Amino acid sequence: MNYVKLMKRAISLANQYKYTAKPNPVVGCIIIKDDKIISEGAHEKFGCNHAEINAINLAKTKIGKSFKSFEELTLICSLEPCNHSGKTGPCTEAIIKSGIKNVVIGALDPNPLVSGKGIECLKKNGICVKTNVCSELVKEQNKFFFFKNTYGRPFITAKIASSIDGKSHIVGSKQTWITSKKSREDVQKLRASKDVILTGGNTVVNDNPMMNARVDFLINQPKKILLSTKTNLNFDAPFFKDADYEIIKERDLSKVVDRFKNTDVTSILVEAGPKLINSFLNEDYVDELIIYESTSKLGPNGVNWFKEDNAVENLGFKLESTYKIESDTKKIFIK
């Protein structure tokens, strides 16, 4: 049986829901009889049925038509089935109850509540389990989830828009559009992929941003976090309107980041001015830096993003990829 091909299909199925399943990992599940697909399912929405439940429920409608007993079937799942109750019941319990006798798993779940326990439970109940089929693809697909459970904090991306001469904005200006409309549209998709957008008080006051993800597809909007001790905030501003936000009056970034340790948050996008961006960079909390660079110059009245040339490389970042967006260049640096 070519489980690799089927697992890749499950991974592809899961990917359709990456904006609505978050902050949970995306998971795909396929149930087969011999080489015939009986049913498919995915974790479609945070807080709703997991992939295995959706696939089993669909298979139940075909019993007596496409197969006689669940014992004839094999369940293929991209991530280890959970063995604990959260917003939904344990998937292992549903698999055992169904009568399925063969399970193929892509990657072990790194969550300490699950890791290995789901597989152990299935085996104890007489189910044959095969693991590590396309595991690296599953880990890459859910890199924020795996990072959080490995390092105990969310994956942090810092995003900046820069002129070609390395400037952030003009001194004294309220808002400076540097990059193209297409680049700003790309930022919306970047925001849509994150659990949290974090910014500072100066950005909210000076730029008056909405700082949500304005896209034409269904998403779970990221929560907004404002790091500020300002007392003159305008709560009628677009940033606060109809939004899930939190104001954190804390200057110690280690304490800020630690607040997310025991939450569902797996990814944070930092969008702020040079001071806060550099604080995150210098304290080694940035895992990915994205620079949208325009061809325009702001000149001597512009505010530098960094104090020195090659600051990004000196902080240990390597250029992973470069894209052209009209006349702009999108650069992605990783540690």
Q: List residues with catalytic annotation.
A: 52
- Which residues have CB under 8 Å from 284's CB, separation 6+? none
Q: One-letter amino acid identity for 202? A: N
Of the candidates 41, 38, 103, the residue with the CA atom closest to the CA atom of residue 65: 38
The answer to whether the beta carbons of residues 239 and 210 sit under 8 Å apart is yes
Q: Are 285 and 156 in contact (CB under 8 A)?
A: yes
Amino acid identity of 74?
T
Label the pairing between strands 102-107 and 318-325.
unpaired
Q: How many helical (H) and strand (E) elements, i.e. helices and strands, does the chain have? A: 11, 15
Cite the DSSP H helix spans in 171-327: 181-192, 201-207, 253-258, 274-282, 311-314
- CA proximity to 24, closest of 188, 220, 158: 220
Residue 205: both structure tokens together: 């006051």
DSSP strands (E only) in the chain:
28-33, 36-42, 74-79, 102-107, 128-130, 155-162, 167-170, 196-200, 223-227, 245-248, 267-270, 288-293, 302-304, 318-325, 328-334
Name residue, tokens 């404002």: 226
CA pair distance 83, 140, nearest whole angstrom: 23
Q: How far is CA 330 from the centre of its chain?
A: 19
Question: What is the rounded CA–CA span in Å between residue 40 and residue 26?
Answer: 14
